[in-house]
Structure 1
Amino acid sequence: MAQVRLDQVRKVYPNGFVGVEGATFDVADGELLVLVGPSGCGKSTLLRMIAGLEDISSGTLRIGDRIVNDVAPKDRDIAMVFQSYALYPHMSVAENLGFGLKLRGKSKTEIAQRVDEAARVLELGKLLDRKPAALSGGQRQRVALGRALVRHPQVFLLDEPLSNLDAKLRAGMRVEIARLHRQVGATMVYVTHDQVEAMTLGQRIVVLKDGHVQQIDTPMALYERPANLFVATFLGSPAMNVLQGRLVRADGLALDLGEGHRVPLGDGRAVPEAWLQRDIAIGVRPESVQPAGGGAGAFDGTIEMIEALGNETLVNLRIGPQALVSRMAPRELPPPGEPLPLEIVPGRWHAFDAGTGERLTA
């Protein structure tokens, strides 16, 4: 396996559109790194540049100790798994797994050994004689993974490999990919627009928007300390609540939303004076908005909709003109249209500049 290093990698298309701007990060040897962001953010373009399927306009790309900017894809020692399975329909699973090795002139003995190894790791042993038409979607995706695995490449590149599967199969395949990574210790770069996949699979996550890297960190660090409002609202389901107003001191800190609406922030956290009496955005995760316990930090939200999900309840509310979602344990609640006393869990809010969206730190 090998480290992948990008240094100020940039992609500009002939029409002048900048697909990726100044991407700089490392993928450690044996790491599973996830590139995540909305459609058009540049994540697949980055993956295709690592694979050699897109030219790099400027910057440096290294795989291991080699600069590979001008190295052909077949000579980069990478294996790619695409969104579509792209299996040969007339070949058996075993033949699909070994076909790439056959093209590279490997001996029949070595091909058989590697196919048996991949089949064991991916639990495909009973399916080796079947054709793709006789497989489920999850089984076909495992064959596509196995076809990459038999190559023993330095780096695995996975481009939204689960997007064609239904929700149940996606959950199962996430477990399969995580198990595969643990077993083989492979360096993997995984592209997805699904933040659940990113949070559950990635050892680290690169969050992209409009071709720019927004933040790189572990899943929980991104969740707990987002660098800006885009990261804060992109990761997490439901998304982080964002309330716009002016920070004031009123028996502790509170956010004045205007029109007589005020949200106490639940603690006496020391904040810079420059934060007060200015437009600010306060971010609060839904699980940090809870029914009030009768203390001084309570405020009323008007219930708009209740989503009873069994193990939890999501309550959609409004405070004046602004929306809020609370995630709470199942309980009896007033009907829509009625007020619900709420409070912010002390210390569980984030401050952002209302103009730039950047995180404010004391």
Structure 2
Amino acid sequence: MATVSLDRVRKVYPNGHVGVDDASFDIAGGELLVLVGPSGCGKTTLLRMIAGLESISGGTLRIDDRVVNDVAPKDRDIAMVFQNYALYPHMTVAENLSFGLRLRGKQRDEIERRVRDAARLLELENRLDATPAALSGGQRQRVALGRALVREPKVFLLDEPLSNLDARLRLSMRVEIARLHRQLGTTMIYVTHDQVEAMTLGERIVVLDGGRIQQIDTPMNLYDKPANLFVAGFLGSPAMNLLRGRLQRDGQWRLDTARGALALGGLPAQSAALEPWTGREIVLGVRPEDLRPVDANQAVLTATVEVIEPVGNEVFLNLCHGAQALVSRVAPGEVPQRGSALPLGFAGDRLHFFDTASGTRIV
């Protein structure tokens, strides 16, 4: 189980564009770490630098205790799975799995053992004689994983391996990858733009935007305590509701917005941190599940129901509060009518507060 360490790693292109800016983090041996962010955030560039497919402009990259900045990809003992399966169409599954080992001159019995072990792990034992054209999308992706697996590398690098699959297959392959990681205990670095995929797979997640690391934490800590407005808006489906206004206190806390004052209550757990922000512009964050329909006499605000999205075990209410779009996540049952006015309250102990200017978390 290899460790991977990045110390102020940078990528600057010849035109001056900074693809990755001062990335520093450590990956423990056997950890599954996810790099997530929107398109162009630098996550794939960072993965390619770890693989040796992109040069490093600055900083230090180590695999175990070995500096590998200038080490060729083939000498880093890593294996990479790409978005496209890139299988050889004229070869069988067994031939695709063994091809890299044959190129490296491995002994026949060793090749057969590794292919057999990989096929068993990936439940491909009865498909070894099939060509890629005879396989489903999920099976092809498993072959691509198996081709990396037989290498028995120190580190697995996976670059959006599920993005070409449909929703059902993505779900089943997420489970496959998590199961595979648990069985192997190998260090894995996984790149995705899908925040649900990141939350369900990663033991820790690195959130990137504009080439810079925004936050590194466990999935639930990222969800419960986002470091800034970008992380708050990016992680969570539906996204966090964000309301801007001036924070005031007159016995109880309130947020003065363009649509009126929103009563926030006593906020005993947050008051000490919020005190210096009294009278200043802030952003209030409310997760959809914490924006709840209530009786009219308990309402903090009233919004109009615009779109109702029933998704089985929960319902998303898309709301309009003046020009402010909001989303409430509720249990199925008695759902309000589209166009109706809905009184809403906050879960006070679950509110998030951010600095309007910098976007950083206050509490």
Flag whether TM exceeds 0.5 (same fold): yes
Question: Which residue does the alignment assign to 2:267?
Answer: 268
Q: Per-residue CA shift, 1:290-334, capped at 9, x if unaligned?
A: 111465454211222221223111111122221211000123344
Distance in 2 between residues matched to 1:79 and 1:51, nearest whole Å: 8
Once the two structures are overlaid, the 10-residue window that deviates more, 327-336 or 240-249, is 327-336
Q: Distance in 2 between matches of 1:154 and 1:334?
A: 54
Question: Does residue 1:284 correspond to 2:283, yes or no?
Answer: no
State the match for 1:213 in structure 2. 213
Compared CA separation, residues 44 and 174, structure 1 to 2 (3 A): same
2:267 partner letter: G
Alignment equivalent of 1:308, drawn from 297, 307, 310: 310
1:321 equivalent in alignment to 2:332: no
Aligned to 1:255: 255
Work out whether 1:23 is the aligned partner of 2:37: no
Structure 2: runs of 5+ lacking an equivalent: none
Q: Separation in 1 of the partners of 2:145 and 2:292?
A: 43
The 3-state SS of whatever aligns with 2:8 is strand
Corresponding position: 1:71 with 2:71: yes
The structural deviation recorded for 1:68 is 0.3
Aligned-partner Cα distance in 2 for 1:308–1:141:
32
Could you say which residue in structure 1 is the equivalent of 2:54? Answer: 54
**In the aligned structure 1, how far is the partner of 2:44 from the partner of 2:336?**
46
Instruction: Give the structure 1 partner of residue 130 of structure 2.
Output: 130
Task: Name the aligned partner's letter for residue 261 of structure 2.
Answer: R
In the alignment, which residue of structure 1 is the partner of 2:36?
36
Q: Partners in 2 of 1:281 and 1:24 — Cα distance? A: 29
* Map of 1:144 onto structure 2: 144
Aligned residue for 2:184? 184
Deviations 1:97-128 (A, max 9, x none): 01100011001100000000001111110000
Q: Distance in 1 between matches of 2:267 and 2:91?
A: 67
Instruction: State the TM-score, normalizing by the size of structure 1.
Output: 0.97
1:321 corresponds to which letter in structure 2? A
Work out whether 1:204 is the aligned partner of 2:204: yes
Q: Aligned in 2, Cα 1:196/1:268: closer, same or farther, shift over 3 Å?
A: closer
Q: Deviations over 1:161-187 (max 9, x none)?
A: 000000000000000000000000010
Residue equivalent to 2:239: 239
State the 1:355 CA deviation. 1.3
Which amino acid is the alignment partner of residue 348 of structure 1? R
Query: What is the aligned counterpart of 1:347 among 334, 346, 349?
Result: 349
**Residues 101, 111 of structure 2: 8 Å contact kept:** yes
CA distance in 2, matches of 1:333, 1:201: 32
In structure 1, what residue type is equivalent to 2:87? L
Matches within 5 A, 1:327-338: 327-338=329-340
8 Å contact 2:33–2:189 — kept in the other structure? yes
Instruction: Provide the C-alpha distance between the structure 1 equivalents of 2:278 and 2:54, rounded to a whole number of angstroms.
Output: 48
Give the structure 1 partner of residue 98 of structure 2.
Answer: 98
TM superposition shift of 1:338: 2.2
AA aligned opposite 2:304: T
Cross-structure match for 1:159: 159
8 Å CA contact 1:288–1:326 kept in 2: the answer is yes
**Is the contact between residue 160 and residue 192 of structure 2 (CA under 8 Å) also seen in structure 1?**
yes
**Residues 306-315 or 33-42, more deviating:** 306-315
Q: Is the 1:205–1:219 Cα contact (8 Å) retained in structure 2?
A: yes
State the match for 1:118 in structure 2.
118
The CA deviation at 1:142 is 0.2
Opposite residue 284 of structure 1, the aligned amino acid is V
- Alpha-carbon separation, structure 1, partners of 2:258 and 2:248: 12
Moved more, 300-309 or 20-29: 300-309
Give RMSD over aligned pairs: 1.3
Match of 2:12 in 1: 12
Conserved? CA contact 2:5–2:62, under 8 Å: yes
Distance in 2, matches of 1:107 and 1:175, equals 33
**In the alignment, is the contact (CA less than 8 A) between 1:158 and 1:189 conserved in 2?**
yes
Using the alignment, how far apart are the partners of 1:355 and 1:88 within structure 2? 52
Amino acid of the residue matched to residue 282 of structure 1? L
Q: Distance in 2 between matches of 1:182 and 1:37?
A: 25
Q: In structure 1, what is the Cα distance between the partners aligned to 2:149 and 2:228?
A: 37
Q: Distance in 2 between the 1:219 and 1:114 partners?
A: 33
Q: 1:298 to 1:16 in 2, by over 3 A?
A: closer
Cα distance between partner residues in 2 of 1:4 and 1:268: 42
SS of the equivalent of 1:265 reads strand
The count of corresponding residues between Structure 1 and Structure 2 is 360
